[in-house]
Structure 1
Amino acid sequence: MMRAFLIFFLVSSAASADVVTPTRTLRPGSLITVEDLSVKSGEQVGMFDRVSDVAGQEARVALYAGRAIPFAAIGPPALINRNQIVSVHFQTSGLRISTEGRALERGGIGDRVRVMNLNSRATLFGFVQADGSIEVKQ
């Protein structure tokens, strides 16, 4: 009997998990702090379960108090803003081309953004680097 209770307890405790929820409504673009978060019991697929994974990130969409935070709803804080002048770099076969461009989207490290070359007015796609520049890939 004790063995059956122990097995039931282990299975039921493994089935319940925690989800991270905001303590207040957060607007898109808001930086998320530890004070903005709480942990509720309940398991939902595709939702964060650790506060450390969410704190320091930026809300990509509105996050409502008490609702679990989905993986796609947050991301790294934006380094560049729309219409900001940025350095654009392209490198291939030992050749490196650098120019200035205008960011057409907001983006954080690793985000793929559109950027307009100020010289040619061509629209390019590139990835935001840690220094705030855009690296254009072939």
Structure 2
Amino acid sequence: MRLALALLCSLAGGAQAETVVATQTIRPQQIISPDAVRMDQATISGAYVSLDDVIGQESRYVIYPGRPLMIGAVGEPALVDRNQIVELIYAHGGLRILAEGRALDRGAEGERIRVMNSDSRTVLFGTIQPDGSVLVKK
């Protein structure tokens, strides 16, 4: 029994989690490519543990080589950039109004951003749709 317990303890101690680490400087708003990250034999609380979770995502801030990619450091790539002209959609019941607007923030699909109606100069909040348009609510 003692031998089995000692064997289990040594096996458990030998297993170490891996952490995703930057191999090069990753700039803000840069899409993370496979050559920009690698797995490192370290256990860092709050860091990504899978390359699949970060490759193809967009960096939220600068990440330096050798540093772990922490949860929240990356996110979905932005569909809408600040000052981009976007289609504003207001839909309520059977009514659907389309207008042109300017994005006042940057964001990805599903995020709420501020937009300004180009005609009335009214600032509204809306949700970015998969096609890059913004669904606004009153």
Where 1:107 maps in the other structure, the secondary structure is: coil
Cα distance in 2 for residues equivalent to 1:44 and 1:137: 42
TM-score (norm 1): 0.89
- Deviation, structure 1 residue 44: 2.3
Q: Which runs of 5+ in 1 are unaligned?
A: none
Aligned to 2:29: 29
Aligned to 1:7: 8
Equivalent residue pairs, number: 137
Cα distance in 2 for residues equivalent to 1:13 and 1:123: 57
- Deviation, structure 1 residue 89: 1.2
Aligned to 1:72: 72
- Relative to structure 1, the CA distance from residue 98 to residue 10 in structure 2 (aligned partners, 3 Å threshold; closer, same or farther) is farther
- Deviation, structure 1 residue 67: 1.1
Q: Which moved more, 1:86-95 or 1:58-67?
A: 86-95
State yes or no: 1:126 paired with 2:116: no
Structure with max Cα Rg: 2
Q: Which runs of 5+ in 2 are unaligned?
A: none
Aligned to 1:18: 18
Cα distance in 2 for residues equivalent to 1:119 and 1:94: 23
* Counterpart amino acid of residue 22 in structure 2: P
Percent identity over paired residues: 42
Bigger strand share: 1
